[in-house]
Amino acid sequence: MTDTSRRYPDPSIRVLDPRFTSLILASASVECLYQGTRWSEGPVWFGDGRYLLWSDIPNDRILRWDETSGAVTTFRQSSNNANGHTRDRQGRLVTCEHLTRRVTRTEYDGSITVLADRYLGKRFNSPNDVIVKSDGSIWFSDPTFGIDGFYEGERQESELPACVYRIDGQSGEVTMVADDVLGPNGLAFSPDESVLYIVESRGVPRKIRAFDVDVRGERAVLSNNRVVIDAGPGTPDGFRVDTHGNLWCGWGMGTDELDGVRVFTPQGEPIGHIALPERCANVCFGGRHRNRLFMAASHGLYSLYVNTQGVQGG
């Protein structure tokens, strides 16, 4: 980080709309917690252990940052080119793996359970990002990024179109919930879970789409597909939602004006930007009160205390 992060208020925190001022703290600045990854992704907070896990996809590892000491260690290698992570409602780690083209759960004893690796008998592409709903269902995106080359996985043939899937929390049944998003990537629910947001990363320009969610037993139906955010020159990737419904989106395209985190209202209005010296891929909220934003950027991990809280489980 540059010296600007040592100043209060931090000039890298940019107010684009007055509504953003209530979400930021005058005496909090962006902190660089680690440097040394090739491509950071998928941060997930473990409050019970006071640590954060995140992926370094090309280096085929999951890293662990300890809140009490600041130490960074390797949590798992090989990670099967793990990308996105979340926790289920029992606190277990849920992971998207590019190399094995599957979604897994790490049990309390460290063993790994495969939750899904196929749909209708065909292998997934490369599960990318994942979230868990309050009913225990697991939702994940499945673009082809991990099988397009040998950098974040291995080049392989695609057997399924790029879609978004749901794993039922009780039966484990896998259903396809969205096949009309170009290159589905990051995803998150609104605070009341009535809306699912999905990044359309193969749209030109990129967009964030919203769907109304209707769950009927073991089935979920998405409707009213609409564009909430037109990213223009930006590149939304992963994101999370705060308790007010605002979207905190990994953002950037290699310029000082774009790299970092862009914040939007639930209606898609840009209200703030957190500038980083590199493109940010994904974020999560953590800390004791879920008011610390962790940002997985290209080569590092950053954080910022904010005056809001992430949605529980997000």
Could you tell me which residues are beta bridge partners of residue 297?
A: 280
- Does 225 count as an annotated binding residue? no
Catalytic annotation, residues: 237
CA dihedral over 170, 313, 189, 129, signed as positive or negative: negative
Token readout for 56 is 């370094």
Q: Report how far residue 98's alpha carbon sits from residue 101's, in angstroms, rounded to the nearest whole number.
A: 5
- Does 125 count as an annotated binding residue? no
Residues of 240-259 as b/e, b for ≥16 C-beta within 10 angstroms?
Answer: bbbeeebbbbbbbeeeeebb
Residue in 37, 140, 42 with CA at minimum distance from that of residue 83: 42
Residue in 235, 238, 241 with CA at minimum distance from that of residue 23: 241
Q: Report how far residue 127's alpha carbon sits from residue 303's, in angstroms, rounded to the nearest whole number.
A: 26
Check whether the bond before 78 is cis (ω within 30° of 0): yes
CB 279 within 8 A of CB 96: no
Residue in 146, 171, 29, 33 with CA at minimum distance from that of residue 79: 146
Check whether the bond before 205 is cis (ω within 30° of 0): yes
Residue in 266, 258, 179 with CA at minimum distance from that of residue 225: 179
- Does 3 count as an annotated binding residue? no
Check whether the bond before 9 is cis (ω within 30° of 0): yes
Q: Report how far residue 35's alpha carbon sits from residue 300's, in angstroms, rounded to the nearest whole number.
A: 4
- Does 152 count as an annotated binding residue? no
- Percent of the chain as helix, strand, coil, to the nearest 5: 5, 45, 50
What residues are designated binding site for substrate?
A: 128
What residues are designated binding site for a divalent metal cation?
A: 41, 185, 237
